[in-house]
Amino acid sequence: MSSQLQLLVLSNGHGEDIIASKVVQELLQLEDSPQISIFPLVGEGHAYKKFDIEFIGAVQAMPSGGFVYMDSKQLVRDVKGGLVQLTLNQIKTMKQWVKAQKALGKKSAILAVGDIVPLLFGFFSGVNYAFVGTAKSEYYVRLSEVKLLKRNNKGAYWENFSGSIYHPWERWLMTRRRCKAVFPRDSLTTEILQKMGVRAFGLGNPMMDGLEPSFPTYRTYSIDAEHKEIIRPLVVTLLPGSRAPEAYANWEQIMIGVSSLLEIMRADTATHTSRSLVLLGAITPSLDCNIFSNTLTSQGWRQISLEELPFKFSDNKALTFKQKNAYFVLTQNAYNDCLHMADMAIAMAGTATEQFIGLGKPAFTIPGKGPQFTKGFAEAQSRLLGDSVILVEQAADIGKQVQHFFAYPDKLHVIAENGLRRMGRAGAAQRIAQCIIDKLG
């Protein structure tokens, strides 16, 4: 039998593909690297395209884009779009892959990334498997190991009826002999699963990997540091999400929030006379930046050159604007810098909001119309991320909420600690990759 492990990576969604691709990247760096094949169960697996790796099976985008768990209508659309037949074909394809490896005398295993669907695939494969659980966290239902969140809705009971966010049938799949390792998304979830007999490893969340900025992040402290802090601009990063057309609708809401923030800062002359505002719009490269810039010019923002900004910015293709003492930057190439430069975010995004909070900063979120960033999603995200998220029902109230928040500066220390606890430290993908080799290889 060939000694090199043949590893089939399964993931079921855009965010899951990104997380899986980070682990794949680290697996490829290892001395005893496995031979990897990719099988995206939802969508077309764009996150993997940068690797020269074989895809097995046909890739197919579903109408929901993988958001069926938030909306029953989306599930119906996917079923009509051929979801059931696709899933049956995918299980068959996976089994054929396993059979082919066996016929060649090669040792094979499955890495399942996402929710119960890829986990089920791992179980049905007949070979050893590991699971990276991206969709669930105990923070959805509890504040700590012993303290549950107080919630009134009926769905809250079912989320935690068996003592864990992971239901008994999910834990059954995780405790099978062939399930060699489970990687939950945070340490609280790891602790709960370990007590229930799951081979869970708290190695961090790969979402926090690869976020290094283009500049050093240390700050020097001097006698006039406090004065400099008071007069420096307030930097706000705007995160509208990554999917069209939802991101464009989210942007309209975010701009209402920006207008309310500008009004508050200009009216609050007692504390903000000399403080300017810098807004950083972090726009995914796949979106049309003209749609975002047109909104700005229609609201009185004047386009300026990059050199006119009162600070250095790494993206020389960024679009820059000014209105009174406020500056606006639209960038599609400096995402990491937008996260690190900001004091806070106005966000209507999934992964991007979590990454921002993982850096120890507050995010003000506004529910949208979906399909992803709905009221239900925003409420669930605020439970997942705790004190770091300030959920604002109406975009026009953002200014007042920010003003109220900064009246209590001690909150920033709590939020910094909370972000690290909920999202973990960087380097998780490398730690998970090594553990996968140790347990599956």
| Predicted confidence band of residue 220 (pLDDT cuts 50, 70, 90) | very low
Nearest alpha carbon to residue 340 among 382, 280, 294: 280
Average of per-residue pLDDT across 368-375: 94
Q: What is the reported pLDDT for 229?
A: 53
Residue 221 has pLDDT above 50, yes or no: no
Q: How many percent of the chain have pLDDT more than 90?
A: 77
Q: What is the mean pLDDT of the chain?
A: 90
Residue 389 has pLDDT above 90, yes or no: yes
323 with 279: CB under 8 angstroms?
A: no
Q: What is the SS3 assignment for 64?
A: coil
Q: What is the reported pLDDT for 27?
A: 98
Give the Å distances, CA to CA, from 184 to 166, 205, 289: 10, 8, 36
Instruction: Give the Cα separation of 412 and 146 in Å (integer).
Output: 25
Average of per-residue pLDDT across 395-406: 96
Identify the helix (H) or strand (E) that includes residue 4: strand 2-12
Say which residue, 326 or 266, is predicted with more confidence. 326
Is the bond leading into 371 cis (omega within 30 degrees of zero)? yes
Q: Which of 90-99, 181-190, 222-231, 264-273 has the lowest mean pLDDT?
A: 222-231
Identify any residues that bridge with 320 across adjacent strands, giving them in sequence order. Answer: 304, 329
With b for 16 or more beta-carbon neighbours within 10 A and e for fewer, the 40-60 pattern comes to: bbbbebebbeeeebeebbebb
Q: What is the reported pLDDT for 412?
A: 94
Residue 294 has pLDDT above 50, yes or no: yes
Residue 81 has pLDDT above 70, yes or no: no
Q: Which of 77-81, 271-275, 421-425 has the lowest mean pLDDT?
A: 271-275
Q: What is the reported pLDDT for 268?
A: 67
Residue with tokens 């079912």: 158
Angle in degrees, CA 299, 326, 246, rounded to 5:
50
The CATH number of 2-209+426-440 is 3.40.50.2000
Residue with tokens 């386009």: 303
Over residues 414-435, the pLDDT tens digits come to 999 999 999 999 999 999 999 9
Identify the helix (H) or strand (E) that includes residue 405: helix 398-405
Nearest alpha carbon to residue 372 among 217, 237, 249: 249
Beta pairing class for 326-331 and 319-323: antiparallel
Q: What is the reported pLDDT for 57?
A: 80
Instruction: Give the Cα separation of 83 and 69 in Å (integer).
Output: 14
Over residues 132-182, the pLDDT tens digits come to 999 999 999 998 887 888 877 766 778 888 999 999 999 999 999 999 999
Instruction: Give the Cα separation of 40 and 311 in Å (integer).
Output: 42
Average of per-residue pLDDT across 402-420: 94
Domain boundaries, the chain: 2-209+426-440, 225-423
- What global pTM score does this model have? 0.89
Give the Å distances, CA to CA, from 437 to 35, 39, 210, 298, 345: 11, 19, 21, 55, 38
Neighbours of 326 (CB within 10 A): 20
| Predicted confidence band of residue 13 (pLDDT cuts 50, 70, 90) | confident
Two domains, one topology: 2-209+426-440 and 225-423: yes
- Residues recorded for the chain: 441
Q: What is the reported pLDDT for 31?
A: 94
Q: What is the DSSP letter of 20?
A: H
Residue type, 329: V
Residue type, 8: L
Q: What is the reported pLDDT for 145?
A: 82
Nearest alpha carbon to residue 192 among 133, 128, 122: 133
Identify the helix (H) or strand (E) that includes residue 355: helix 351-358
Instruction: Give the Cα separation of 343 and 385 in Å (integer).
Output: 17
Nearest alpha carbon to residue 255 among 285, 275, 279: 279
Instruction: Give the Cα separation of 353 and 388 in Å (integer).
Output: 10
135 with 153: CB under 8 angstroms?
A: no
Identify the helix (H) or strand (E) that includes residue 380: helix 375-385
Q: What is the reported pLDDT for 68?
A: 42
Indicate the fold that domain 225-423 takes in CATH.
Rossmann fold (3.40.50)
Say which residue, 156 or 64, is predicted with more confidence. 156
